[in-house]
């Protein structure tokens, strides 16, 4: 280059002198080490520009390509961290749950896609930049930075203090985004958050209530601030405070805490004699009071004098919850046993029994309650029997007699009581439950199905009745519950198959019902030639859902007939719908070594280009070879794949190789709003299998109960039922799902049962 420049200088001088230019000397060949070749922007630079300037799919594609490039080009990580300094946003109020709306959000997403190295770079160098962004003078920058931090999730916990400060930001839009981000990242200071429950701004109180009410761990030092919220007029804030006090209890509880809870109860319930339901959000006050211990005794005794009988009954139940701590209240409890309202008297009797008291008064009360002609009183007595422990055994025959009561509310209570018996004793009542499969009351039929499902194989004597009447069941929830009961019976459900097989092949039966029945018959009689023939026919149905169910069911046949295997292979190779092809691969996975004849077809799938299906092909090959766990490496790698279909497939396959606590971070990312519905549903199911070790995800699962996809909502409900006490904050939302969501209602009801929450009762 410098030789060429010299020539230009010489030429210019010659021209300037007005002389005829001399012959140009021959230029030397350029030295390769002496010059930089003229090249265009690098691939990295092009992608960084696209990440910064594009939106939507092009931007996401740039982020994914940068993540792929990072392994070969370490400079990608530093460039992405540097891009975090860019404050460009789409403006205030324009964050989006599934699309990047700022440069730093796009850069953060790309860093996370780079795997452990990207996450480390974000933490070591990027967090400081984001922390500054949370304090930026520009409200839009603060808002978008808070949203960006929220997309990182719990890994951003070091930023939680700065993030939480924005929950009281002067700008409402910033506050709203900050609260959402805090839910995703975690709370830095519970006490400071509790203080916001009494803030003058309604939106701050509401945002704080949503977060506080979802906490599963609350320190005792936060209880005084929570107690102050109980004095306010904002019912949402009060209920959130009570929920958090229950989570903290008995830590930090004082006599003042008990009085404040009692005050909130008096503020909520009318004094007039009006027995109403007690399982709404206000039940949080009673849960908190029942966990306080000694500080709750005096307030509960005082509430025994309330004019509302529901309050008196719940006060007596609270004293039962307190157990031995309630000994000093024995005299007041005995007085309550004389209450004119049976519910109050029976609750008091239960509490006295728990405190070790035995008297003829208790026997007389129970006898009168069971004999009462007033619907509902015997139902209350049935509930009391189960809570009296060993002392209630003498009343068991009276409780079981209510299975034949003319009052639906009493039958309903008796069916539920069967579910509380020891399995051997409960199994003896199955013939009586079978009679109620055609009960006039749908709620009774639903509960019968739920109890039979819980009994599993022991409920087999009811299989024939379920098979006979299920085709004519008009209540969809009861019908679904009957199918679940048959599946739980396993081979014991074989007597139901004859009644169910016509539904499998009847196109007029309704696709949803056929799909459920298909799953039941395969479990009930996997060796049946008739079942196999029906499933093969269903595999050729016009409806996608029916073909999908048939594909999964065919894999459960044992042995796997040649025509059944051929049907699976045909679906795998020729079906126009990817969901059906995926179901066929999963069916062959379930078949395992029985599907060896399809190995070459699976090998082609495993090495194919259909995202998600190819991963399941690898899992199926491992299953066919006899040990599905050998695919664990491919499955876990798939959890972080760039393709959403692969991530969804990996989450589903994880259930076969065995999810562990180490998988929680990857599964948590799959619960994000931007994930596909199958990915969210599979991730929720896997987290539920992990159980208590994954309790940090409870708030995310509660959010998932409002997902647009029914399968995702149902999976979230099922998972919450496996978390035990940690899932108590989900109870109000699960109850709402039971009341308003037909698709997820059965799963939510099962979850509430596992959490010990009473079911709704039929009206007397």
For 718, the 3-state DSSP assignment is helix
For 89, the 3-state DSSP assignment is strand
Q: Dihedrals φ, ψ of 474, to 5°? A: -85, -25
The residues, any chain, with a CB within 8 Å of residue 538's CB and separated by 6 or more, are: 504, 505, 514, 518, 546, 547, 549, 550, 553
The neighbouring-strand residues paired with 102 are: 89
pLDDT for residue 13 is more than 70: no
Give the tens place of pLDDT for each residue, 215-232: 888 999 999 999 999 999
pLDDT for residue 26 is more than 70: no
pLDDT for residue 14 is more than 50: no
User: What is the pLDDT averaged over residues 339-348?
Assistant: 94
CA dihedral 683, 688, 691, 692 (to 10 degrees): 80
Residues in the chain: 764
- Distance set, CA 237 to CA 199, 229, 516, 709 (Å): 10, 7, 42, 29
What's the whole-model pTM score? Answer: 0.77
Give the tens place of pLDDT for each residue, 484-524: 899 899 999 999 999 999 999 998 888 888 998 999 999 99
Residue 165 pLDDT level (bands cut at 50, 70, 90): very high
For 671, the 3-state DSSP assignment is coil
d(CA 85, CA 125) in angstroms, rounded, equals 11
pLDDT score, position 11: 33
Q: Dihedrals φ, ψ of 647, to 5°? A: -60, -40
pLDDT for residue 168 is more than 60: yes
User: What is the pLDDT averaged over residues 562-568?
Assistant: 96
The residues, any chain, with a CB within 8 Å of residue 405's CB and separated by 6 or more, are: 378, 411, 414
Residues 476, 481, 486, CA angle at the centre, nearest 5°?
Answer: 130
User: What is the pLDDT averaged over residues 323-352?
Assistant: 95
- Name the token pair of 712: 């995702």
pLDDT score, position 1: 38
Within 10 angstroms of residue 343's Cβ, the number of other Cβ atoms is 25
Q: Are 644 and 675 in contact (CB under 8 A)?
A: yes
Which stretch of 365-369, 395-399, 690-694 has the lowest confidence by average pLDDT? 690-694
The residues, any chain, with a CB within 8 Å of residue 658's CB and separated by 6 or more, are: 629, 632
Q: Are 592 and 623 in contact (CB under 8 A)?
A: yes
Buried b (16+ CB within 10 A) or exposed e, 696-712: bbbbbbbbbbebebebb
The residues, any chain, with a CB within 8 Å of residue 551's CB and separated by 6 or more, are: 539, 568, 571, 580, 583, 584, 586, 587
Omega of the bond prior to 250 within 30 degrees of 0, cis? yes
pLDDT for residue 8 is more than 60: no
pLDDT score, position 693: 72
Within 10 angstroms of residue 586's Cβ, the number of other Cβ atoms is 24
Closest Cα partner for 317 from 370, 383, 225?
A: 383
The residues, any chain, with a CB within 8 Å of residue 329's CB and separated by 6 or more, are: 297, 300, 301, 319
Helix axes 613-624, 644-657, angle to 10 degrees: 20
pLDDT score, position 761: 61
User: What is the pLDDT averaged over residues 554-571?
Assistant: 95
For 653, the 3-state DSSP assignment is helix
The residue with tokens 């097989």 is 501
The residues, any chain, with a CB within 8 Å of residue 283's CB and separated by 6 or more, are: 731, 732
For 618, half-sphere exposure in the C-beta direction (CA atoms, 13 angstrom radius) is: 24
Q: What is the DSSP letter of 126?
A: I
Give the tens place of pLDDT for each residue, 79-91: 999 999 999 999 9
Give the tens place of pLDDT for each residue, 397-428: 999 999 999 999 999 999 999 999 999 999 99
pLDDT score, position 72: 87
Specify the domain boundaries for CATH 1.25.40 within the chain. 44-178
For 626, the 3-state DSSP assignment is coil
Distance of CA 519 to the CA centre of its chain: 23
d(CA 12, CA 327) in angstroms, rounded, equals 110
Buried b (16+ CB within 10 A) or exposed e, 361-395: ebeebbeebbebeebbbbbbbbbbbbbbeebbeeb
Which stretch of 226-230, 355-359, 486-490, 558-562 has the lowest confidence by average pLDDT? 355-359
The residues, any chain, with a CB within 8 Å of residue 179's CB and separated by 6 or more, are: 167, 207, 208, 210, 211
The residue with tokens 């808002």 is 143
The residue with tokens 């929570």 is 226
Residue 697 pLDDT level (bands cut at 50, 70, 90): confident
CATH architecture of 44-178: Alpha Horseshoe (1.25)
Helix axes 562-574, 578-591, angle to 10 degrees: 150
Q: What is the DSSP letter of 341?
A: S
Give the tens place of pLDDT for each residue, 120-157: 999 999 999 999 999 999 999 999 999 999 999 889 99
The residues, any chain, with a CB within 8 Å of residue 451's CB and separated by 6 or more, are: 415, 416, 418, 419, 426, 433, 459
- Distance set, CA 534 to CA 127, 513, 551, 587 (Å): 59, 15, 12, 16
User: What is the pLDDT averaged over residues 522-547?
Assistant: 95
pLDDT for residue 37 is more than 70: no
Q: DSSP secondary structure string, 559-601?
A: S--HHHHHHHHHHHHH-S-HHHHHHHHHHHHHHGGGGGGGHHH
pLDDT for residue 734 is more than 50: yes
Within 10 angstroms of residue 466's Cβ, the number of other Cβ atoms is 28
Closest Cα partner for 710 from 684, 686, 688?
A: 684
pLDDT for residue 27 is more than 90: no
Closest Cα partner for 354 from 389, 329, 394?
A: 389
Q: DSSP secondary structure string, 412-459?
A: HHHHHHHTTS-HHHHHTTHHHHHHGGG-S-HHHHHHHHHHHHHHGGGG
For 706, the 3-state DSSP assignment is coil
d(CA 583, CA 601) in angstroms, rounded, equals 14
- Name the token pair of 760: 């709704």
Q: What is the mean pLDDT of the chain?
A: 89
Residues 345, 350, 356, CA angle at the centre, nearest 5°?
Answer: 125
Q: Dihedrals φ, ψ of 577, to 5°? A: -105, 125
Q: What is the DSSP letter of 134?
A: H
Give the best-scoring range by mean pLDDT among 92-106, 164-178, 728-742.
164-178
Give the tens place of pLDDT for each residue, 179-210: 999 998 999 999 999 999 999 999 999 999 99
- Distance set, CA 38 to CA 1, 35, 42, 47, 357 (Å): 11, 9, 12, 20, 96
Residue 16 pLDDT level (bands cut at 50, 70, 90): very low
The neighbouring-strand residues paired with 89 are: 102
d(CA 675, CA 97) in angstroms, rounded, equals 10
For 53, the 3-state DSSP assignment is helix
Q: Are 223 and 245 in contact (CB under 8 A)?
A: yes
The residues, any chain, with a CB within 8 Å of residue 357's CB and separated by 6 or more, are: 330, 334
Class of residue 205 by CB neighbours under 10 A (exposed 0-12, middle 13-18, buried 19+): buried
């Amino acid at each position: 280059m410098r030789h060429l420049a010299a020539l230009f200088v010489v030429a210019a001088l010659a021209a300037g002198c007005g002389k005829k230019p001399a012959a140009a000397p021959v230029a030397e060949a350029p030295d390769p080490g002496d010059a930089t070749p003229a090249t265009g922007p690098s691939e990295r630079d092009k992608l960084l520009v696209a990440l910064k300037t594009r939106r939507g799919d092009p931007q996401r594609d740039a982020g994914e390509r940068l993540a792929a490039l990072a392994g070969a080009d370490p400079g990608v990580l530093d460039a992405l961290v540097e891009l975090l300094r860019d404050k460009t946003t789409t403006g205030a109020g324009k964050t989006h749950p599934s699309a990047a709306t700022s440069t730093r959000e796009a850069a953060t997403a790309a860093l996370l896609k780079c795997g452990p190295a990207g996450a480390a770079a974000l933490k070591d160098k990027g967090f400081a930049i984001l922390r500054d962004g949370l304090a930026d003078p520009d409200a839009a920058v603060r808002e978008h930075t808070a949203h960006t931090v929220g997309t990182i999730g719990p890994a951003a916990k070091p930023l939680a203090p700065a993030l939480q400060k924005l929950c009281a930001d002067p700008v409402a839009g910033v506050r709203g985004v900050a609260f959402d981000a805090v839910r995703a990242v975690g709370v830095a200071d519970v006490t400071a958050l509790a203080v916001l429950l009494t803030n003058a701004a309604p939106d701050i109180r509401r945002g704080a209530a949503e977060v506080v009410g979802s906490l599963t761990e609350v320190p005792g030092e936060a209880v005084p601030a929570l107690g102050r919220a109980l004095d306010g007029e904002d019912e949402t804030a009060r209920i959130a405070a009570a929920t958090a006090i229950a989570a903290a209890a008995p830590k930090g509880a004082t006599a003042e805490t008990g009085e404040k809870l009692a005050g909130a109860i008096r503020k909520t319930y009318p004094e007039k004699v009006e027995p109403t339901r007690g399982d709404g959000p206000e039940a949080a006050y009673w849960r908190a009071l029942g966990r306080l211990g000694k500080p709750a005794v005096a307030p509960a005794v005082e509430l025994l004098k309330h004019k509302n009988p529901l309050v008196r009954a719940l006060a007596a139940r609270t004293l039962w919850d307190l157990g031995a701590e309630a000994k000093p209240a024995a005299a007041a409890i005995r007085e309550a046993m004389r209450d004119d309202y049976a519910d109050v008297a029976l609750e008091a009797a239960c509490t006295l029994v728990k405190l070790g008291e035995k008297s003829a008064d208790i026997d007389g009360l129970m006898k009168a309650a069971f004999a009462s002609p007033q619907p509902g009183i015997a139902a209350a007595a049935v509930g009391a029997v189960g809570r009296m422990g060993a002392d209630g055994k003498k009343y068991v025959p009276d409780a079981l007699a209510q299975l034949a009561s003319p009052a639906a509310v009493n039958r309903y209570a008796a069916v539920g009581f069967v579910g509380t018996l020891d399995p051997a004793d409960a199994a003896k009542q199955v013939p009586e439950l079978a009679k109620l499969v055609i009960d006039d009351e749908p709620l009774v039929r639903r509960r019968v199905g739920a109890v039979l499902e819980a009994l599993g194989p022991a409920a087999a004597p009811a299989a024939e009745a379920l098979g006979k009447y299920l085709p004519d069941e008009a209540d969809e929830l009861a019908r679904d519950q009957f199918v679940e009961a048959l599946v739980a019976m396993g081979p014991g459900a074989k007597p139901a198959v004859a009644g169910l097989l016509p539904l499998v092949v009847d196109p007029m039966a309704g696709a949803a019902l056929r799909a459920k029945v298909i799953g039941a018959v395969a479990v009930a009689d996997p060796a049946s030639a008739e079942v196999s023939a029906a499933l093969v026919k269903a595999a050729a149905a016009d409806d996608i859902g029916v073909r999908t169910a048939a594909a999964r069911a065919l894999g459960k046949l044992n042995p796997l007939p040649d025509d059944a295997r051929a049907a699976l292979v045909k679906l795998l190779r020729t079906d126009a719908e990817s969901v059906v092809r995926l179901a066929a691969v999963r069916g062959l996975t379930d078949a395992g070594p029985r599907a060896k004849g399809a190995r070459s077809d699976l090998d082609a799938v495993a090495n194919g280009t259909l995202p998600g299906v190819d991963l399941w092909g690898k899992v199926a090959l491992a299953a066919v070879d006899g040990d599905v766990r050998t695919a664990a490496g491919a499955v876990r790698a798939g959890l972080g794949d760039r393709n959403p279909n692969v991530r969804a497939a990996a989450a589903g396959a994880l259930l076969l190789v065995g999810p562990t606590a180490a998988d929680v971070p990857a599964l948590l990312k799959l619960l994000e709003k931007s994930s596909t519905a199958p990915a969210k549903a599979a991730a929720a199911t896997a987290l539920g299998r992990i159980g208590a070790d994954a309790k940090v995800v409870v708030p995310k699962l509660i959010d998932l109960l409002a997902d647009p996809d029914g399968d995702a909502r149902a999976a979230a409900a099922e998972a919450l039922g496996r978390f035990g006490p940690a899932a108590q904050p989900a109870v109000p939302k699960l109850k709402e799902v039971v009341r308003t969501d037909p698709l997820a209602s059965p799963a939510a009801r099962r979850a509430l049962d596992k959490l010990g929450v009473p079911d709704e009762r039929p009206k007397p």
